[in-house]
Amino acid sequence: MNDANNNNNFIVKGDVNVTKNNTFTARYAFGQSEQAFPLGSPSDGGGSRIAAFEQLSPTRVQVVSASWLAIFSPTRINEVRFGYSRFRTRFNSADATQGDPNYIAPGSLGLDFGTGLAGLPEIDFNGLFDNLGATAFSLPRGRVSQTYQILDDFTWIHGKHEVKFGGEYHRYTVQSYNDNLGRGLMVVSPPGIDSDPYIDSLIGFYLGDFSSYANTFANMGNTNRNTFNNNFGFLVQDNWRVRSNFTVIAGLRWEYFGPLGETHNLLSNFDARGNLVQVGSPTLPHVYNRDLDNFGPRLGITWNPVKDTVVRAAFGIYYDYTPQNNLIANFTNSAGLATNPVPSLSGSPYFVGGMDFNPSAWTGGAAAGPVFTPTVNLQSIFITDLHLRTPYVQNWNVNLQRQLGNSVSVAVAYIGSKGTKLTRLYDENQDFTNPDWASIDVFSGGANSTYSALQTTVQVHNFHGFNGFSTYAFAKSLDGASDGIDFNFATAAFPQNSDNVAAEKGPSTFDTRHRWTTAINYTVPVLHRLPNLLAAGWQMNTVITIQSGRPIPIVNSDDTSGTFNFHQRPNVVQGVSPILTNWSPSTGYLNPLAFAQPADGTFGDLGRDQIYGPGFVNFDFSVTKNIPIHERYTLQFRAEFFNIFNHPNFALPSNVITPGLNADGTLNTTAGPAGVITQTPDVAQGNPGLGGGGPRVMQFGLRFQF
């Protein structure tokens, strides 16, 4: 696997004092990267981990910002800010990228899949062999996102009051394509001819015994869309210094997040009658209704009851914008509101419809073709609640800070939050009550969350040359869904059983119970015994991070629930530890004998995110030496050691397992290791060698300061 992550970045800054009371600033930032990374899992729909099918992602980012600060008087100040960003990226697999050595043009090999796209379809073997082909979901895809923002803030100081009020406008535009299932997805169905499951699976491949995901093998149609949002916000806030030791901060913010729109009205949703129609139709003027009551109050206090002691407390309600990606490029069969098989587009190039597998074109593993033909079966769709509300979070905190002498301070804080109307997914047609469609994946605002944390911090300032802090957090985060998108079957958004979403309440996918972070800088005293060039200017720095593991979103490799959503969890075998005592990356982190396959048509009793992965320990260290050249010029030497002790850290184990016991309690002889670990955290983040959790990295550099 030739993983790569090449970056080029630069920033240009400018500040101009136009007059004594008027300042203009501007910034321009540019970034460009070329990434190649593996992204696959042995699950159905997970894609291949083979090098020939790795994903390629070129990206370019440009950001422009400007501000004008005007001081009308000592008590009246106004600031206008403008921002523009342009983000261009695309994702494709190596075998579908022209110029890549792994490029596959099916026609040149005598293959006709009927999709018109390069590369292989995704062909899955139920975890027995590694899948072939990159993931069929949302690949290839790409977008050019542009954001326009203008804000104005006015500050008026009057007596003990500092009043701020202002407003902002955001416009988001996205030009995108998302060929979800465009290359096709085929899951081998072993025919039961041979007792050896591996041989039987190969026989199924040879004979063309394939099943599909949610009744669709592939999609076809032009997926280019131009979507947009218009958002507004207004704020008023008063910082009232009631007494010299007591301040109250009170404010109110109103926000409006406009419904998603498309330049040519190519979005669709169910109308009030349950019919799939285009936006702009008489029964569907907007893809969902406007939400106009997003009022967010804020209240905070700062109190100095005694010398060297500060008490702070605050409460606020904050509304959140739903990214367009969740609505038009989700990880579902019909990837979003922009690519539904809406009847009014039938016959148009923009009609995106399903395709069936043509078994007569598949002979002995060859594709004389076309293998995929326009479907005659029911199709899946993606909709959202017509009354989709804006997600919001209530945050509150209490903080006690105490100064100890001139150099040390300690703080203890409680932080809590409650999320409401958070986004999630579910299948409205899990029980096939709607005869017109297969799956009806709903983007809903039906999830909630809670978060509680105790945080302690010690800060040191100029204590015998030491500066820094050490903080520990004990936290717990619970929710019913941790995201509005379920990328690569992460189980963050989609439930095991859409008829019982309440059973999904559990630890958040990012839940981290314990985290300790320390950052210390030490200025070395002048070493008089050394030559002047080496005697002074030395500093040593260290950053220590230790945290507990995060939940593993466990699902079965073979979903026997009959729902076709591949989110079935196993049953728990009581009295058996789910984590191996002497685990290793190759033997697996999980104990397969701790899990049993549920009976056909049922769901597992393992709760969502109940088992946690390995923790994280990292020590970074650096030494710097400042060498004065002139009163205005300094040369700095840096020696940096990331993960200096080369402590092994591991990404989450594979979440797709084959339970060690069958539904009848007998031993499953085909079950191999469970929870195999194939990545370190830096690789899992798509940042090999540079992200946290990788092997020891040493870096030396010179920096010229002026």
d(CA 678, CA 557): 17
Q: Which residue has the higher pLDDT, 110 or 248?
A: 248
Query: Is the pLDDT score of 70 beyond 80?
Result: yes
Can you point out the beta strands (E) in 182-224? 185-188, 210-211, 218-220
Q: What value, to the nearest 5°, has the Cα angle with vertex 482 and ends 45 and 183? A: 20
- pLDDT tens, 393-416? 999 999 999 999 999 999 999 999
Q: Which two tokens stand for residue 474?
A: 């004990």
Looking at residue 569, its amino acid is: R
pLDDT tens for residues 303-357?
A: 999 999 999 999 999 999 999 989 998 888 788 999 999 999 988 999 999 888 8
pLDDT band of 466, cuts 50, 70, 90: very high
**Judging by DSSP bridges, how do beta strands 408-427 and 440-463 pair with one another?**
antiparallel
**What is the mean pLDDT of the segment spanning 63-78?**
96
Phi, psi for 274 (deg, rounded to 5): 85, 20
Residue 686 above 90 pLDDT?
Answer: no
Q: Which of 81-85, 328-332, 418-422 shows the lowest mean pLDDT across its residues?
A: 328-332
Higher pLDDT pick, 50 / 157: 157
256-267 mean pLDDT: 95
Q: Average the pLDDT over 583-600 and give the result.
A: 95
Interacting residues of 666 by C-beta distance below 8 A, sequence separation 6+:
none
Half-sphere exposure of 146 (CA within 13 A, CB side): 7
pLDDT of residue 486: 80
Give the CA radius of gyration of the chain. 29
Grade residue 44 by pLDDT with cuts at 50, 70 and 90. low
Residue-level pLDDT at 32: 94
Q: Tokens in use for 424?
A: 């999630």
**Do residues 701 and 638 lie in contact, with contact meaning Cβ atoms separated by under 8 Å?**
yes
Between 160-164, 364-368, 519-523, the lowest mean confidence (pLDDT) is in 364-368
List for the chain the helix, strand, coil content (%; round to 5).
5, 50, 45
Q: Which helix (H) or strand (E) holds 29?
A: strand 22-37
Q: What is the pLDDT of residues 265-313, one digit of tens each?
A: 999 999 999 999 999 999 999 999 999 999 999 999 999 999 999 999 9
**Contacts for 9-17: CB closer than 8 Å, 24+ residues apart:** none
Q: What does the buried/exposed string (b/e) look like for 284-310 if buried means 16 or more CB atoms within 10 Å of the residue's CB?
A: beebbeebeebebebebbbeeeeeeeb
**What's the pLDDT score for residue 474?**
98
**Selection from 95, 382, 61 nearest residue 219 by Cα:** 382
Reported pTM: 0.87
Residue 366: pLDDT over 70: no
> Residue 530: what pLDDT?
82
Of 275-279, 439-443, 556-560, least confident by mean pLDDT is: 556-560
- Percent of the chain at pLDDT > 70 equals 96
Contact call for residues 454 and 461 (beta carbons, < 8 A): no
pLDDT greater at residue 166 or residue 121: 166
> Can you tell me the distance from the alpha carbon of 71 to that of 167, in angstroms, rounded to the nearest whole number?
18
pLDDT at 490 over 80: no
User: Residues 107-128: pLDDT tens digits?
Assistant: 888 888 888 899 988 988 877 7
Where b means 16+ CB within 10 Å and e means fewer, 118-128 reads bbbbbbbbbbb
Distance between the two ends of the chain, CA-based, in angstroms?
43
Q: What is the pLDDT of residue 299?
A: 98
- Per-residue confidence band for 36, with pLDDT thresholds at 50, 70 and 90: confident
Residue 1 has pLDDT above 60, yes or no: no
Taking only the tens place, the pLDDT of each residue in 593-651 is 999 999 999 999 999 999 999 999 999 999 999 888 877 888 989 999 999 999 999 99
Burial class (CB in 10 A: 0-12, 13-18, 19+), 67: middle
Q: What average pLDDT is seen over the chain?
A: 91
For residue 504, give the 3-state DSSP assignment.
Answer: helix
| Residue pair 328/227 in contact by the 8 Å Cβ criterion | yes
C-beta neighbour count of 431 within 10 angstroms: 11
CA distance 594 to 385: 39
